[in-house]
Structure 1
Amino acid sequence: MGVRAAHGRESGGVSAPLEDPVAFIRANTLLAPSSLVPEVRLHLADEAIELWRRTEDVLGESDLPPPYWAFAWAGGQALARHVLDHPDLVAGRRVLDFASGSGIVAIAALKAGAASVVATEIDAFARAAILLNAQANGVEADLAVSGEDATAGEAGRFDVVLAGDVFYEKPMATRVGGWLVRECAAGTAVLVGDPGRSYLPKAELDPVAEYRVPVPRAIEDSDLKHTRIWRFRS
């Protein structure tokens, strides 16, 4: 089944100008609750390859990263569920949602009472999607969205760092893992959600919780992903 337009129409190749990513997202996704976290609604796609092609067409580029922002990945869903079920982890604290994707973890942190949340994403479509999703959940006023490279910033600026499903490529895993260790050394609480990616640095982690997360076959190799929440050791 192809990607559908936001109002139930088949999108049929509908695209938006590069300068209007919001219109593109609305035309190529549906606003729906995520499977493990129904409290959070997201602009979601139901087919990855076609949306990927349309994104490249709109940008006039090839070999772009997949549209991570259009799906609720297992690591992010599990982390969002855990935060909502354990609001004491973030309540009253300054939170960073690293590589935010759809923004599901950032939104969950705000719903759980975080004092402030910054969601970082290098992808411009993702940043637009995060803001749209925040608006759909009524938390846009308290969310900052940034394109900065958080791994290059000074450690200790946040009380809590949350990262869902970021250890899927070795170069990124090495860089991000080293940064998160530095954050822990600065007194930051670091939690990650991971569905068994190859480059998870388990030697640095303690297991916290486990979830079975329903995910679409459009993005994973099974309908359920056994996903763990881990805490980096301080």
Structure 2
Amino acid sequence: MNNIAPLDFVRDNTTVTTTPLIPEIQLHLATEVTPLWQATEETLSQGNLPPPYWAFAWPGGQAVARLVLDRPELVAGRSVLDFAAGTGVAAIAAMKSGAARAQACDIDRFALAAIGLNAGINGVEVKAVSADLVGRPLPGIDVVLAGDVCYERPMAERVTAWLRAVAATGTIVLMGDPGRAYVPKSGLEKVGSYTVPTSLELEDRTSRETVIWRLLPEA
């Protein structure tokens, strides 16, 4: 078993760069998909390791981050949670827009390392949280940002039900949807939309129209 440290793995297998939609934020990103996937599976050899979603700026997360940068009043002075954060880009955007504090939650320890590195190069403080929060209350959280969580039916249904319960407590829940199949069909309020450039290695087209929805307590 290879015991390479997550921080070293992230640094060694990514490049610090930006995306066209959010040039204000630097991220450790993979420049090619296949080599990183192979490195994750072969170099680490740890078994049951999740795919390196943390190394790519997915359209849902980019759109949410762009919205927060364009409309800082959504997060200014508030406590923010970036759910299933990956790169942590939404949390970083929130801090750049004046959030009082931001947490970025992910269950992948390599994502947590990437979040820390990404926050550091952008000069903001983001607390990386290693936990499966689904089903739990979120006391003290004013805004939940969720980038792209409706690409698989079981996860979409589980997460949506939980986030509706969170919204019922008065928390603002914003979801980025680049046209995934399992986004809810009702109980949504459109907040904004962006055309997000994408890679054909990751998506089936060169751009995705991505809508940011506010999830309402009732469908």
TM-score (norm 2): 0.94
Rate the CA distance shift 1:148–1:63 in 2: closer, same or farther, 3 A: closer
Rate the CA distance shift 1:155–1:28 in 2: closer, same or farther, 3 A: closer
Give, as a single letter, the amino acid of the residue that structure 1 aligns with 2:23.
P
| Counterpart for residue 200 of structure 2 | 217
Quick check: 1:201 aligned with 2:204? no
Q: d(CA) in 1 for partners of 2:210 and 2:202?
A: 15
Between 22-31 and 79-88, the greater mean CA deviation after superposition: 22-31
| Counterpart for residue 62 of structure 2 | 77
Secondary structure in 2 matching 1:113: coil
Quick check: 1:25 aligned with 2:10? yes
Secondary structure in 2 matching 1:152: coil
Q: d(CA) in 2 for partners of 1:97 and 1:165?
A: 11
Q: d(CA) in 1 for partners of 2:136 and 2:4?
A: 28
CA-to-aligned-CA distance 1:56-115 (integer Å, 9 cap, x gap)? 123314564321111111000110000000000000001000000011101000000000
2:85–2:104 contact (8 Å) kept in structure 1: yes
Alignment of 1:22-171 (within 5 A): 22-62=7-47, 64-139=49-124, 142-171=125-154
Percent identical among aligned pairs is: 53
Report the Cα offset of residue 150 of structure 1. 1.5
Secondary structure in 1 matching 2:22: coil
Q: d(CA) in 1 for partners of 2:118 and 2:155?
A: 26
2:60–2:177 contact (8 Å) kept in structure 1: yes
Report the Cα offset of residue 153 of structure 1. 2.1
Give, as a single letter, the amino acid of the residue that structure 2 aligns with 1:162.
L
Give, as a single letter, the amino acid of the residue that structure 2 aligns with 1:223.
T
1:156–1:187 contact (8 Å) kept in structure 2: no
Secondary structure in 2 matching 1:92: coil
Between 157-166 and 144-153, the greater mean CA deviation after superposition: 144-153
Secondary structure in 2 matching 1:54: helix
| Counterpart for residue 8 of structure 1 | none
Mark the runs of 5 or more structure 2 residues left unpaired by the alignment. Answer: none
Coordinate RMSD, CA, aligned: 1.3
Quick check: 1:231 aligned with 2:214? yes
| Counterpart for residue 3 of structure 1 | none
Give, as a single letter, the amino acid of the residue that structure 2 aligns with 1:121.
D
Give, as a single letter, the amino acid of the residue that structure 2 aligns with 1:169.
E
Give, as a single letter, the amino acid of the residue that structure 2 aligns with 1:207.
K
Report the Cα offset of residue 204 of structure 1. 2.0
Aligned residues: 216
2:4–2:44 contact (8 Å) kept in structure 1: no
TM-score (norm 1): 0.88
Give, as a single letter, the amino acid of the residue that structure 1 aligns with 2:121.
A
Secondary structure in 1 matching 2:186: helix
2:7–2:114 contact (8 Å) kept in structure 1: yes
